[in-house]
Amino acid sequence: MPLSPSDTHKVLESIGHKPKKKLGQNFLIDGNIVKKSLTMAAPSPSDAIVEIGPGLGTLTEELLSRGYQVHAVELDPNLAAYLRKKFSKELKNNSLVLTEGDAVKEPTGSLTLKDDTFRIVANLPYAISSPWLESILGGKKIPQSMTLMLQKEAADRMWAKPSTKNYNALSIFLHGAYKLEKSHAVSKQCFYPVPAVDSVLIHMKRLPEPFLYQKESRNLIRKVFTKRRKQMGAVIKQESTRSQEILEDWLKQTGLPRTLRAEQISPTDWQHLSQIISD
């Protein structure tokens, strides 16, 4: 059951917990948003669900009540202890597996590679949304879909198009593997405590043939983007010999002009660079 602000306050008081800003502890208190997350995610009964930052377990409870197996990752030891008590039955019968740890290091918690189809449903701690997504995209298996509550600005950056100020390395990696299907603005009043920033609930679906950038290409693209407004010709000169060779080869093969800047180059052209590195 989603909690009202006063109920949430009471629960927090009963466990002696003060919401930590640093950990993005703004708890969902709106039942419609909890249900909307599930409607957007539309998992099949056999899908495993990964939830990042279960907090007081509002979303977790809804997922469990619908019969899904949930793999949750919570960093805060106080909240993890509360969840272990609240869901002792579900933990015993393994419908909930709780990992107490950092989701950036364990982006899918206790999920194993045997879990064929899985989805992510999460009200993310906003400070880790980008590094966590990078960890997910760098993993061996990526989810079928991700239904995420994000800071509005972060979502805008993730789905930015080339030649806009928000376009960055993560937008490129995401465009290769996912399609943004739905987006829903969420009022600040849906959280306790009320956050300072605007939020948005988004649903992204894995592409039929997702393109995953390997580590070396991700590192190179990220590095090139630190000089996003410099012409590629000038950027190349400052790179290591190996990167210079790769980038020169890429410009030659694609016919991209040396005067182009990183922020103007399309995700498809960056994929070509990644293929050169993998070959």
Using CB under 6 A, which of the segments 19-27, 174-182, 245-253, 255-263 binds ligand SAM? 19-27
For ligand SAM, the closer CB: 185 or 241? 185
For ligand SAM, the closer CB: 49 or 128? 128
Q: Which of residues 178-217 bind ligand SAM (CB under 6 A)?
A: none
* Residue 83 makes contact with ligand SAM by CB under 6 A: no
* Residue 251 makes contact with ligand SAM by CB under 6 A: no
Cβ neighbours of residue 1 closer than 8 Å, sequence gap 6 or more:
31, 58, 61
Query: Binding ligand SAM by CB under 6 A: which of 43, 53, 107, 143?
Result: 53
* Residue 61 makes contact with ligand SAM by CB under 6 A: no
* Residue 123 makes contact with ligand SAM by CB under 6 A: yes
DSSP category for residue 261 = B
If you write DSSP's letter for every residue of 10-73 in order, what string do you get?
HHHHHTT-PPPGGGT--EE--HHHHHHHHHHH---TT-EEEEE--TTSHHHHHHHHTT-EEEEE
* Residue 55 makes contact with ligand SAM by CB under 6 A: yes
* Residue 265 makes contact with ligand SAM by CB under 6 A: no
Q: Residue 10, exposed/middle/buried by CB under 10 A (0-12, 13-18, 19+)?
A: exposed
* Residue 68 makes contact with ligand SAM by CB under 6 A: no
- Cα distances from 51 to residues 13, 59, 82, 173, in angstroms, run 24, 8, 16, 22
Q: Which residue has the tokens 């960890």?
A: 135
- C-alpha span between 32 and 195 (Å, rounded): 18
* Residue 76 makes contact with ligand SAM by CB under 6 A: yes
* Residue 59 makes contact with ligand SAM by CB under 6 A: yes
* Residue 58 makes contact with ligand SAM by CB under 6 A: yes
* Residue 19 makes contact with ligand SAM by CB under 6 A: no
Using CB under 6 A, which of the segments 21-29, 62-70, 196-204, 255-263 binds ligand SAM? 21-29
For ligand SAM, the closer CB: 39 or 240? 39
Q: Which two tokens stand for residue 188?
A: 């600040």
15 and 78 Cβ atoms separated by less than 8 Å: yes
DSSP category for residue 219 = H
* Residue 73 makes contact with ligand SAM by CB under 6 A: yes
* Residue 64 makes contact with ligand SAM by CB under 6 A: no
- C-alpha span between 278 and 217 (Å, rounded): 8
- Footprint of ligand SAM (CB under 6 A): 23-28, 52-56, 58-59, 73-76, 79, 102-104, 123, 125, 128
